[in-house]
Structure 1
C-alpha cells in the first residue's frame, strides 16, 4: 500500500473544505450566508489577474489571489498539487495510464494558446477567463448538473420509500430532514447549460485515460499562469535531470518529466519523486534560478496569443438587440460592461437564488456573456427581502447590499401588453399583478374604468397601470400573471438603473396582503 503523503492529505482536506463550502452556499433558512465557496475564487490568481486587468483597478476582495500568485514565485505550482479541488479529483480518478505522452503532439503549446488570449482579452476589457478556470468548471458542473441530479434522485427515492412504508413512513422523516437541511439543494430546477457543464467536466476526466493530469499539463490556464511565475523563482530540484541509473522519477511524477530535465513551470510540488526515490537523492532547494529547457514559449505562440486576445475582445461582442431588451441582471448591477468585466461565471448567485429567478446566459448577452446570470421572471422573481446573490459573489460583480438598499435597486421596468392583458383585451377584472407587487405604495395600481364589453353590456373594469417611479423590475408581476405562456406584463431592461427613492407605504387595498409581506417560504414546509 502506498504511503499517504503530506500533499495528498492537504488535497483531501481542501477538497472536503470545497465541498462543505459548496453545500453551505445555499439557502438554509437564514438571510445571511456565513461561509461560501467564493473563498476559493478570491484565492484564485487567474480570477484576480483577469478581473483586475479587465476592470483596470485594484479589487480588495481578490487580494488573496494576488498573495497566492506571489507565493507561487517562491513555491512554484503548489496550488495545483496541494489545494486545487479539480486536481485532487483528477488524482483520485486516475487509473492505469494507457498511452503515456499521447497528448503531447496534439496539444503542444496549447496552454499558452489558451492563457495568452484570455489575459489579452481581459486587458482589452473582455473577461472570459471564468469560462476555462478550473474551479469555475468544477463548480458549474456541480451546481448545474450533479447537485440538482442528486437532489432529484434522493427526493424521488424518498417518495418511493414513503409509498412502500405506508403508515409507517413517519419513521423516515428524521432522515429526510437531515438530508434536506444539509445535503439537498434548496432549488428544484433545471438549468439551460447543465449538460454542457457536465460534458466539459467529464471531458477533463476522460483525458486522464491517456495521460496523468492531462488537463493540468496541457490546458489549464490557472496552472499555466502559476507556472510562468514559478520560472522566475529560486526553488528548484536537485538533481535537475533524471538519474542515468534509475529514472524512477518519470514513473512517479504526474506532470513534469516530458524531457529528461524537470520543468519547474510544470511541477506541481507533489514531492512524489523525493518521497519515492530509492536512492534518497532528490531534494527541493532555494538556490538561484532554475535550469530550463528552451524559452518559455516560441515567438509565434506569444504573438499568436496576443492576436487571439484581440480577436476575442473585438470579434465576439455582437449582441442581438431583441435579446438585449430582456437582458435582466441581478439587483445592484447598474453597468453591463463593468458587470461582464468582473463576473467570474461561477454560478454561485444562481445556486442561492431564493425564487429560482437566475439562470446562466447562453448567447443572450453575446459570447462574452456566456454563463453570466440572467433573471428570467417567467420562471422566478427577485425576492424583495433577499440579498443572498450579492453575499456569495466572489468579485463584487453583484454588490453585497443591505436589505433596504437592495430593495431600491432597479433591475428593469414592467410594461403591460394591452393586447394580451385581460382587463384590456377581454375587458374583465384581473389585478393579480397588483396584489403581488411588494413595493410599498404599489408600483402596479389599478383604476376603475367604465367600458362596453364585447357583449354590448357596459361594465366597470379595474385596469392596471405601472408607476415607473416605484417599479424596481423584480419580476413577480410577470411570474404570477395567470395567462399561459407569454405573460401580459413583462419586465424589460432599462439603461437608467438609478436606485429608487425611498417611499412610505401606502394604505393597503381592502382584502389585499400587506405590501411588504414577502417572507421566505420553505417549499418543504414552514416559513423562516
Structure 2
C-alpha cells in the first residue's frame, strides 16, 4: 500500500527527533543552536503542567500554545503525524495488527492518570514529565541506549583494531566520523538507567497486546490532546462503519466504538481513507459543531482527579534536612521549589554536561525530585566556562545565562572536613584544591601555619582556607581531592544562592 502523508510526516519527524538528539551533545562547540528540547516546547502537556505549577508564563512554550490551537482546529493530529514515540510504536508493530481491545478493563484509566497529574501541578507538584511520552523516550535513549551504543562502538573498534593490526590506521577516519557525529562525547553510567529503559520497553511490549495500547489507554499527553480534539470541526465522513464493508476496523490503529469512530482516540492517520476500497471516506469540516461527548469528564473523575492530585502533592514534598543539604542543582537555580515546578525531567542537561557532573535524582530528592538533575561533585564538576545545560533546558528551569553571568552563579559553598583533609588530619602539605579552583582570585587559598605533626615534632604546614564570599560551589575541589572515598572538602547547599557580585573579589584582601 502506498504510504500515507501522515506516515511520511511521522518518519520525517522521527528523523528530526533523532537528529536533534545527536545534536544535543557536546561536539566541540560552546553553543548548541538546535536541540531536541524543541519537541518539549511544542508539548501541550508540558505547557499545561507548567502554567498550573509555576503560575507564570514563559515565551519558550509559545510553540505549545500553537500546537494546542492547532489541535482545537484539526483534532488529535500530533499523535498520528508528529509524536516520535507513536512513530516508533507503529514501526515496531507487526504487520498483522491487533485491533481487539484487550485492555478494555482500563476504562477511564487515562483520565485517572492525567487529572491527578494536572491537579498535582495546581498544588505546586509538577510530575507530568514522568509520564510524558517524549520525556519517556528521551530518558530511555539518554540514560541507557545511547551510552550502551557508545560503549559497544568503542569496545568493537578496539577489538577490530586488534584484529587488523598495522592496517588499523586506514580505519581511523571512519571512527573519527562516528566519534564526532554519532557517539556520545564521554562514557557515563546513570542512576535509573534500567528503570528508564524498562518503562520504554514495557510501552513497546504493550503493542503485542493491542495496537497503540499506550496511546489509547495510558498516555497523559494523548489523553489531553484527545480531549482538546473534541472541539475540532473536522470530522470523518461517514462517522461509522459502512454496512457492506467494515474494512476500516482492520485498518484503524485506534478503535471504533460499536461501529462509530471514537473521535477522542482518532489520530488522523488517514489509513482508513487511503485503504477504503470504495473511496467513500473523507475528513472535512462540519458545521455547526456538535460535541458527541460531554465537554468535561464525569463528575467522579473530576473530583477523584482533584483529590488524587492533592493527596499526591502533600506527602511527597517531605525531605529530611540531611538529604536536603546534598541536593546541589545546576548553575542559575536559586529556588528549589520554583525549579521543581518548571523541570520537565527530560535529562537533556545531564546529556550535555561537559564534565559529567549532573545525574538524575533517585530517592535522595524525594518523590517530587525524581529524575531531576543533581550535581554530584565526587563524580564530576561544573565547568567554569560552560553554559550548555541552560541552553538545552526546554522550560527555563535552568536559566540560559551568558558565560560571565553564569560564572557568578552560586551552586553551593565548599566546607572543609578536618577529619579527612590532609593538612588538618595528617599534618601534611596539600594544595590540590587551591590549584584547581577556577575562580580568578581563588576561593580556596592556603597559609603557612606551625602545627605539631603526628610524630610529635613541630612543623610548618600549608593549611587551606575558604574565601566564602567568592566560592560558587562548582565542585572541582571535591572532585579532585586526592583523599580516597570521602573527600576532605565537600560542597553543601546554601539558602542564599544570590550571584557573587562583581565587586566581591576585588574588595577581599587576604
1:261 and 1:97 map into 2 onto residues whose CA distance is: 19
1:66 and 1:215 map into 2 onto residues whose CA distance is: 24
Count of aligned pairs: 504
Q: Residue 317 of structure 2: SS of its match in structure 1?
A: coil
2:426 and 2:56 map into 1 onto residues whose CA distance is: 55
Q: Is the 8 A contact 1:51 1:341 kept in 2?
A: yes
Show the counterpart of 1:404: 404
Cα shift at 1:504: 8.8
Q: Is the 8 A contact 2:470 2:505 kept in 1?
A: no
Q: Residue 470 of structure 2: SS of its match in structure 1?
A: coil
What TM-score do the two structures reach when normalised by structure 1? 0.94
Show the counterpart of 1:300: 300
2:475 and 2:177 map into 1 onto residues whose CA distance is: 33
Show the counterpart of 1:86: 85
Bigger shift: 406-415 or 258-267?
Answer: 258-267
What are the Cα deviations for residues 254-309 of structure 1, in whole angstroms up to 9, with x where unaligned?
Answer: 11314321121110000111111111111112113255367753322222111111
Bigger shift: 71-80 or 315-324?
Answer: 315-324
1:483 and 1:258 map into 2 onto residues whose CA distance is: 67
Q: Is the 8 A contact 1:447 1:463 kept in 2?
A: yes
1:398 and 1:99 map into 2 onto residues whose CA distance is: 43
Bigger shift: 410-419 or 248-257?
Answer: 248-257
Show the counterpart of 1:413: 413
Q: Is the 8 A contact 1:345 1:372 kept in 2?
A: yes
1:183 pairs with 2:182: yes
Q: Is the 8 A contact 1:358 1:373 kept in 2?
A: yes
What are the Cα deviations for residues 418-450 of structure 1, in whole angstroms up to 9, with x where unaligned?
Answer: 011110111000110010000011000111001
2:473 and 2:363 map into 1 onto residues whose CA distance is: 22
- 1:447-466 alignment runs, 5 A limit: 447-466=447-466
2:291 and 2:503 map into 1 onto residues whose CA distance is: 68
2:367 and 2:349 map into 1 onto residues whose CA distance is: 20
Show the counterpart of 1:33: 32
1:15 and 1:277 map into 2 onto residues whose CA distance is: 27
Q: Residue 316 of structure 1: SS of its match in structure 2?
A: helix
2:204 and 2:302 map into 1 onto residues whose CA distance is: 29
Cα shift at 1:243: 1.2
Bigger shift: 48-57 or 325-334?
Answer: 48-57
Show the counterpart of 1:270: 269
Cα shift at 1:505: 7.9
Q: Is the 8 A contact 2:99 2:254 kept in 1?
A: no
Show the counterpart of 1:395: 395
What are the Cα deviations for residues 354-374 of structure 1, in whole angstroms up to 9, with x where unaligned?
Answer: 000000001222101110000
What TM-score do the two structures reach when normalised by structure 2? 0.97
- 1:3-402 alignment runs, 5 A limit: 3-95=2-94, 96-97=96-97, 100-105=100-105, 107-287=106-286, 288-290=288-290, 292=292, 297-402=297-402
1:373 and 1:3 map into 2 onto residues whose CA distance is: 45
Q: Is the 8 A contact 2:75 2:231 kept in 1?
A: no
2:250 and 2:322 map into 1 onto residues whose CA distance is: 56
Structure 1 residue runs of 5 or longer lacking an equivalent are: 507-528
Q: Residue 175 of structure 1: SS of its match in structure 2?
A: helix
What are the Cα deviations for residues 105-157 of structure 1, in whole angstroms up to 9, with x where unaligned?
Answer: 1x111110011011111111111100000000000000000000000000000
Q: Is the 8 A contact 2:231 2:291 kept in 1?
A: no
Cα shift at 1:230: 1.1
Cα shift at 1:413: 0.2
Bigger shift: 133-142 or 272-281?
Answer: 272-281
Q: Is the 8 A contact 2:99 2:250 kept in 1?
A: no
Q: Is the 8 A contact 2:423 2:462 kept in 1?
A: yes
Show the counterpart of 1:512: none
1:272 and 1:456 map into 2 onto residues whose CA distance is: 86
Bigger shift: 293-302 or 53-62?
Answer: 293-302
Q: Residue 469 of structure 1: SS of its match in structure 2?
A: helix
Q: Is the 8 A contact 2:99 2:249 kept in 1?
A: no
Q: Is the 8 A contact 1:152 1:188 kept in 2?
A: yes
Bigger shift: 380-389 or 156-165?
Answer: 156-165
2:341 and 2:454 map into 1 onto residues whose CA distance is: 53
Q: Is the 8 A contact 1:151 1:184 kept in 2?
A: yes
2:49 and 2:120 map into 1 onto residues whose CA distance is: 9
Q: Is the 8 A contact 2:144 2:196 kept in 1?
A: yes
What are the Cα deviations for residues 221-252 of structure 1, in whole angstroms up to 9, with x where unaligned?
Answer: 11111111111221111111211111111111
1:258 and 1:19 map into 2 onto residues whose CA distance is: 35
Bigger shift: 490-499 or 297-306?
Answer: 297-306
Question: Could you say if the C-alpha distance between residues 505 and 497 of structure 1 is closer, same or farther in structure 2, counting changes exceeding 3 Å?
Answer: closer
1:468 and 1:112 map into 2 onto residues whose CA distance is: 50
Question: Could you say if the C-alpha distance between residues 500 and 449 of structure 1 is closer, same or farther in structure 2, counting changes exceeding 3 Å?
Answer: same
Q: Residue 490 of structure 2: SS of its match in structure 1?
A: strand
Bigger shift: 442-451 or 256-265?
Answer: 256-265
Show the counterpart of 2:469: 469
Cα shift at 1:461: 0.2
Q: Residue 448 of structure 2: SS of its match in structure 1?
A: strand
Q: Residue 50 of structure 1: SS of its match in structure 2?
A: helix
Q: Residue 461 of structure 2: SS of its match in structure 1?
A: strand
What value does the CA root-mean-square deviation take over the aligned residues?
1.4
Cα shift at 1:97: 4.1
Q: Is the 8 A contact 2:24 2:34 kept in 1?
A: yes
1:398 and 1:294 map into 2 onto residues whose CA distance is: 39
